[in-house]
Amino acid sequence: MLADDGMLFETELGTWPIEVRCTSFGDLVRRFEFQAQERSFGFVVGECPPERDRRVDNAFFRELDGDPLTREQMADLVLHETTHVVWREGTVSFWKGVGYYLEAIFLFRYANHSAERKAHGTSQEFRFFRVHADVDQEYQHIYLEEFEEHLASDETRACAHGPFDRQPPAVPVVAGGVAR
């Protein structure tokens, strides 16, 4: 849901405010060819061509080369980064950020980074949803079988699918769309 201060992610467990900020750190993230980086409040993005106005010419709305993102790409980005915020995994605090980058640099992990598994799982499930919804009904069973094989295979090392043993950490108290 959209609010005056950004997006609100609502579940039966509560509501998480998700902000998107175009920052100088987001510019650095973009230079390493990443679309966004999770933070405790949501995620940061960097400026993209044609660089007329940071509020719209950024990696939330545009590819790194400046082409507009599709609505599916934007939804995938929001869901992926929101998974980090909800589960408090990734660079959502100073020490978690230090641990994240140490693992990425010294263990050469990105595709199978331990803090990316739930977020990659969310992205996988969203991709399945998109493909499954767009394909003719007579072929949907093929995609469903393929996804079920993925869930049962060793491929899931790089992603994690629920149900999980524990719930996400406590939901922040939200008043008027702002975490307090």
pTM of the model: 0.88
* pLDDT per residue as tens digits for the range 76-93: 999 999 999 999 999 999
pLDDT given for residue 36 in this prediction:
96
HEC secondary structure over the chain: CEECCEEEEEECCEEEEEEEEECHHHHHHHHCCCCCEECCCEEEECECCCCCCCCCCECCCECCCCCECCHHHHHHHHHHHHHHHHHCCCCCCHHHHHHHHHHHHHCCCCCCCHHHHHHHHHHHHHHHHHHHHHCCHHHHHHHHHHHHHHHHCHHHHHCCCCCCCCCCCCCCCEECCEEC
Question: Tell me: the pLDDT tens digits for 29-38?
Answer: 999 999 999 9
pLDDT given at position 174: 56
